Structure 1
Amino acid sequence: MRNRLIQALRPVAPGIATMVADDRTGLTVLPAAWLSGWTLIDAQQPGARHARRVHLALSERAEVQVLTGRPEAFDAVVRGSEPSADTAIAIGRAFLDTTRTFEKWSYRVERPEEIVGLPEHTDPILADLRIEITPPLPVAGPAGWSLRLWTVTGTSLIRHDLCVRRDRTVEDRATVAAPDLAVPDSV
C-alpha cells in the first residue's frame, strides 16, 4: 500500500508523498466497510514535538485524495448510493475524523466523559450541554439523514449538525457550543 500511495501522491502532493515514503511514518487503514472502491488511511510521522498527521483516501485504481481540511475531497470519495441510518452515522464520524486540520488538537466525543481533562465541576454552560452530548441519532429527512456529532477543538466544544445527503455527501453546520473549556488544548 505504501508504494501505491507514494506513486499516487507524487503528482498532486509531493510533500505528503515524501512524508509517506519515510519508513517512520505509520499508515493505518481506518475502518470503513461502508465505503466501496476506496481505503481511508491515517498517516502519522513522528516528530520531535508533535507528529505530522494527514488523512488520505486511496482508490483501487490508485487515485488519491488528501482529506485533511478538505470536506470536498471527502465528498468525492464517499459519493454513492443512499445510505442507511447506520451508514449515515459511520459517514458522519468518518467525515469529522478525516477532514479535521490538526492546526489545533481536535477529537470527536460522544459522551461528556470523553472530553480529555474535563474537571468534575465545570461551568454552567457545559453542565447544560451534558445531556446533549450523546452518540448520534440519525433522523430521516427530505435531503437525507440529519445527525448531531461533537468535537473538542483546542479548548472549545463544537456542535456539528450534519446532513448526510442521499448521495452520501456531507453538509456540516458547526457551532461553538462552549468556548474556553478548562481542558488541555494540546497533548
Structure 2
Amino acid sequence: TLFIIDIWLWAALITGVWVSRRRERTGKAHWRTPALISFAAICAYILANGLITGRAEQLTAEAVQKKFNVAPTLVVANPIPLQFWKRETLWRDDSHYGQGSYTMFDDVRIDNSMRAHYMGVADKNAFEANVTRGSPLLFWSRMPVAQIVDAGIKRTLKISDQRFTDPLVGDRFSAYFPIGDESK
C-alpha cells in the first residue's frame, strides 16, 4: 500500500511535530492540535493508499482477463515513489506473468507481452527437488520467475522475483543454477 520510505508521510509527521513544538514553546493553548491533525491526515493518507492499491489490483485483474482471456491468480500493485496516485501492476496465473501500470486519473494499462514464468506448481516442485534445494530465494519470493540464460555452451537457470525485474536491482534478487552437464 505504501512505498517503503514515503516522503509524504515523513512530511506530514515532521510538520505536525514541528508546529506542535513551536506552539508549545510559545505557550499557546491547544499546542497538541497540529500533531493530532497531522496524525489524522496520515491515517487518511494510509487509508486512501489502501483504496488506490485495491482498485489498481481489481482493475488489473479485469483488464488481464479481457485482454488475454486469463484469470490472474495473483495481482500486486506496487506504489511509485513520490507519486502516491500511481501503481506498477504485476500479475500472474499458474503459467504466465505480465505487468502494467495504473494511474488514478488514467485507469489501468496492461503491457502487450505475456511471458511464461516456469514456476507453476509442477515446475516449482521440480526446481525445489532438483535444482534450488536450500535456496532462500524461493522461500521469500512471492512471485518467482525462471528463465534459461544461454551463454553459448554454458546454460544457467536464473530464478528471480517478478517484483524486482528492474535492471538496476534485478541481479541482487536473483539466484543462478547450472543446468545440463555441469549440474551433475
- The two structures have a TM-score, normalised by structure 1, of 0.23
> Greater relative contact order: 1 or 2 (C-alpha under 8 angstroms, separation 6 or more)?
1
- The two structures have a TM-score, normalised by structure 2, of 0.23
Which protein has the larger Cα radius of gyration, Structure 1 or Structure 2?
A: 2
Instruction: Please state which structure has a larger fraction of its residues in helix.
Output: 2
